[in-house]
C-alpha cells in the first residue's frame, strides 16, 4: 500500500483524479477560445526569449509601474520574501490560484512578504477590469515587451516564482498552485 500525505492527495485530486474529462475539455476549449479572441503572450514562455533565473540564481529587480498608478520599487523587496506571479484574466487556472494569492497577500503583506504580479493579457483594460471585478489588491503590473526582458515569464500559466530575502530564486512553479502550495509560501516568511 502506497502512503501519501495530504498535499500529495490534494495535488492528485486537483490534477485530474476528481475532474471529469468533459470538465477538462471545457476548460481547455474555453482557454483556446480566449486565446484566439485575445492574442497574448505564448502559453509556453515569453516573446522576448529571455529566461527567468533558475533556482539558486539572483534576480535583478527593477522598478515596475503598476496598474493602479503606483510603482513597485526594487527596494521594497529588500529583506523580504518576494512572490512574482504571472496570470491572465482569461486563464481558468489563474482564476483558481489568484484568490489564493490575494489571501496570501492580505495575510502577510505586513509580515515580510512583497508581491509583484504581471498580467499577460493582450490589453491592459482587460487586466484592470478583472482586478476590479474580483476585488484583487495585490500589486499588479501589465506585461509589456520591456518588462518581458526584465521579468521573463517562466513556462506555463499561471507561473509563480519565490525570491528569498537574499534575492535568490527559492522556487519556480509552472502551472496552478493549490492552497497547500500557497500555504507553503507563507511558511517562508
What is the CATH classification number for the domain harbouring 143? Answer: 3.40.30.10
Residue 33 in domain: no
Residue 91 in domain: yes
Q: Count structural domains, the chain.
A: 1
- Model pTM? 0.75
% of the chain beyond a pLDDT of 70: 74
Least confident of 19-23, 110-114, 137-141: 19-23
The β-bridge partners of 141 are 118
Q: Determine the Cα–Cα distance for residues 101 and 181; give it in Å rounded to an integer.
A: 11
Residue 1 in domain: no
Question: Which burial class, exposed, middle or buried, applies to 7 when counting CB atoms under 10 A from its CB (0-12, 13-18, 19+)?
Answer: middle
Residue 3 in domain: no
Range of the domain at 160: 41-187
Residue 133 in domain: yes
Q: Would you state the pLDDT for residue 50?
A: 58
The mean predicted confidence, pLDDT, of the chain is 80
Q: Would you state the pLDDT for residue 27?
A: 46
Residue 12 in domain: no
Q: Would you state the pLDDT for residue 146?
A: 87
Amino acid at each position: 500500500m502506497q502512503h501519501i500525505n495530504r498535499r500529495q492527495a490534494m495535488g492528485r485530486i486537483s490534477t485530474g483524479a476528481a475532474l471529469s474529462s468533459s470538465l477538462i475539455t471545457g476548460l481547455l476549449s474555453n482557454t483556446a477560445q480566449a486565446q484566439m479572441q485575445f492574442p497574448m503572450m505564448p502559453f509556453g514562455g515569453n516573446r522576448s526569449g529571455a529566461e527567468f533565473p533558475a533556482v539558486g540564481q539572483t534576480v535583478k529587480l527593477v522598478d515596475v509601474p503598476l496598474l493602479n498608478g503606483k510603482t513597485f520599487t526594487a527596494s521594497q523587496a529588500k529583506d523580504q520574501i518576494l512572490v512574482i506571479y504571472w496570470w491572465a484574466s482569461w486563464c481558468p487556472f489563474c482564476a483558481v490560484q489568484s484568490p489564493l494569492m490575494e489571501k496570501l497577500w492580505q495575510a502577510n503583506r505586513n509580515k515580510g512578504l512583497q508581491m509583484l504580479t504581471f498580467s499577460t493579457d493582450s490589453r491592459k483594460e482587460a487586466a484592470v477590469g478583472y482586478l476590479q471585478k474580483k476585488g484583487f489588491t495585490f500589486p499588479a503590473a501589465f506585461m509589456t515587451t520591456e518588462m518581458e526582458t526584465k521579468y521573463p515569464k517562466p513556462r506555463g500559466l499561471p507561473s509563480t516564482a519565490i525570491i528569498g530575502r537574499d534575492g535568490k530564486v527559492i522556487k519556480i512553479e509552472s502551472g496552478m498552485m493549490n492552497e497547500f502550495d500557497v500555504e507553503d509560501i507563507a511558511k517562508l516568511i
